[in-house]
Each structure stands twice: as C-alpha cells, then as structure tokens.
C-alpha cells in the first residue's frame, strides 16, 4: 500500500493512493490523527489494528501533498558515507572530518540525526540560508520502522520495517566542516524534503532498488541499494543495540556518489534550481530552491 498525507479543501487528510496513482481515498480519522500524517496509521498497524474506513477517492491532481510524516515523533536517523564511491568522493573533498580520524571507508555505520522540524513535502521550496554558501543535495532511500524494538538482530531486522519513502538530505557543507560534526549543517529549516508518500514493504524491495537524482534535468546521482556499505539489517541492528526504535522512526540510508561537493569546482545548489529524486518502487520527490 501507499499512504499519503495531503491537504484537500484546506483540511489535512491521510489516504490510500490508488495503484494507478490517479486518486487517493481518505481514511476516516480524527483531525488530530490526520494532522500526524501516516504516523497514526503506522502506529495502529504496528498494534495489529485494521485500517480505518475510507471515503470516496479524490483525484490526486486536486490535492496538495504533504510530507507523509509531517511531524516525525523524534529526530530522523541518518547514515553518512554508506556507498563506497560516495565515501571516497567525500573524503577527497576536504570537508569530511570523519575521514581524518579513520580513513575513507567507515568500519562501522556513521550515524547522525536531523531535527523533525526540517521536514518539507514534495513541491515545497528548499530555502537558501543567509549563513551558508555551500548548500548540497543528497538523494536517499529512507526506511520506516513498523514494529519497534531494542536489540534487534540482522536476521530479524526486516520484520521491523514497515516500508519506505524518499528523503533528500540537504546539507550546508561549510557548516558541516566548521562544526566538525554533521547535525547543525544538516538540520536547517527545509533541509529534509520527504515524500511523496510511504510505500509498504510488501510492495517494494528496499534492498534492491535504484536511487537517482537530477538537478535542473541533469543526472547527478544513480546507484542501486545493493551497493550500500552497510545494508538495512545492519543499520537496524546497529541503531537498536542501545536505542529503542519506535513505529514511524525514519532511517535515511545514505547517499550515492555524485553530490555537489564531489565536483571540481563544487556544484552547489542555487536559487532557481529544481532537485528531483526518483526511487524505483516509490516515485518522485521534487523541490525548487529559493
């Protein structure tokens, strides 16, 4: 199934997207639950509850999509340097403080977080901050946790995955370098485009899909998730070793080679650009830059 959060006639809704992507059927939910987006349904399904009743389908062209999780319950977990070629391009850039301590390819997953408030929807603008001149894109597959837990093994990890969405891990490279860690430069307002919806794990294989990114129609990134240094089960095992995971938690799995900092000279984002991320089995996340 594909679950979308959206506005229709100025009201928030959550609905089931049709197989042809032409319509969305809203679920019968309270206003408070509709405001939470897909989170309320992931929570309910994790408890074994049935989906709520659905109303009449609405044409997708008549709604405004929101981020599927417009208000994540806590920070988004992110993985740095999780494709071999990207790890090498980032180490060469001079902006990678982690490479100075341990080489190009990490021996263990590098985990950082983005604040929930930086999430925006497809179609919303990535805002250029006045305090940075080095804004970069990072196309990523994001895992949505369904069944929570702690101490999850790799063997059981995929049982805890509800599904997937797309995240663009926008980054202020100069702040990432200046502060010698990644949280601040990754968490500016509007720095986490997410969407267009959630796709359940029974509809796609996140361990075998393709991630592509285009800036103004120019292909910048193109890679397959089997190329991840640390696969999805390893990431879940690592995170849950000491942190309890909850339904609706988001894990952005890392970005492929081709980010702006990897070019000579760097191809940073600028006002007027349009960034388009495509992942097979999910769809398209597209955002203008202003």
- Confidence check: pLDDT of 109 > 60: yes
Q: How far apart are CA 166 and CA 228, in angstroms?
A: 16
Note whether 41 and 80 are same-domain residues: no
Q: Binning pLDDT at 50, 70 and 90, where does residue 88 land?
A: confident
Tell me the C-alpha distance between 199 and 240, whole Å. 22
Nearest residue to 184 (alpha-carbon basis) of 199, 195, 198, 173: 173
pLDDT digits (tens, 9 = 90+) for 37-84: 999 999 999 999 999 999 999 999 999 999 999 999 999 999 999 998
- Using one digit for the tens of pLDDT, what is the confidence trace for 145-202? 999 999 999 999 999 999 999 999 999 999 988 877 789 999 999 999 999 999 999 9
Structural domains counted in the chain: 2
Q: Would you state the pLDDT for residue 251?
A: 98
Q: Are residues 53 and 130 in the same domain?
A: no
Domain that holds residue 156: 76-288
Q: Is residue 240 part of a domain?
A: yes
Q: Are residues 100 and 209 in the same domain?
A: yes
Q: Evaluate whether 182 touches 95 at the Cβ level (below 8 Å).
A: no
Question: What values do phi and psi take at 123, rounded to 5?
Answer: 90, -25
pLDDT 10s digits, 89-104: 766 656 665 555 556 7
57 plus 138 within the same structural domain:
no
The answer to whether 286 and 122 have CB atoms below 8 angstroms apart is: yes
Residue 70 domain-assigned (yes or no) = no
Which of 65, 95, 120 terminates a domain? The answer is 65
Q: Is residue 263 a part of any domain in this protein?
A: yes
The string of DSSP codes covering 33-80 is HHHTTTHHHHHHHHTTPPPPPB---EEGGGSEEPPSSSS-SSPEEEEE
The pLDDT value recorded for residue 92 is: 63
- pLDDT exceeding 90 applies to what percent of the chain? 89
Whole-model pTM: value is 0.94
Asked if 26 and 55 count as a contact pair (C-beta separation under 8 A), the reply is yes
Q: Are residues 55 and 87 in the same domain?
A: no
């Amino acid at each position: 199934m594909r679950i979308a959060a959206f506005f229709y006639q100025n009201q928030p809704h959550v609905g089931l997207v049709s197989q042809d992507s032409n319509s969305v059927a809203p679920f019968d939910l309270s206003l408070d639950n509709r405001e939470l987006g897909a989170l309320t349904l992931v929570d309910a399904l994790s408890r074994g509850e049935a989906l709520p009743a659905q109303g009449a389908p609405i044409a997708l062209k008549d709604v405004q999509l929101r981020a599927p999780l417009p208000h994540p319950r806590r920070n988004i977990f992110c993985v740095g340097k999780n494709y071999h070629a990207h790890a090498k391009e980032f180490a060469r850039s001079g902006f990678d403080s982690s490479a100075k301590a341990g080489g190009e390819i990490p021996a263990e997953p590098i985990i950082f977080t983005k604040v929930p408030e930086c999430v925006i929807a497809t179609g919303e603008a990535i805002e250029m901050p006045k305090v940075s001149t080095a804004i970069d894109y990072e196309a990523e597959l994001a895992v949505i946790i369904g069944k929570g837990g702690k101490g999850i093994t790799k063997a059981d990890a995929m049982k805890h995955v509800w599904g997937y969405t797309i995240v663009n891990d926008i980054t202020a490279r100069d702040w990432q370098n200046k502060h010698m860690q990644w949280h601040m430069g990754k968490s500016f307002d509007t720095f986490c485009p997410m969407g267009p919806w959630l796709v359940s794990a029974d509809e796609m294989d996140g361990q075998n899909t393709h991630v592509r990114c285009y800036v103004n129609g120019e292909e910048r990134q193109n890679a397959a998730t089997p190329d991840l240094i640390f696969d999805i089960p390893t990431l879940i095992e690592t995170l849950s070793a000491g942190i309890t995971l909850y339904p609706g938690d988001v894990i952005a799995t890392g970005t492929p080679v081709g980010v702006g900092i990897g070019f000579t000279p760097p191809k940073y984002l600028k006002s007027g650009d349009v960034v388009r991320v495509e992942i097979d089995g999910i769809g398209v996340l597209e955002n203008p830059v202003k």
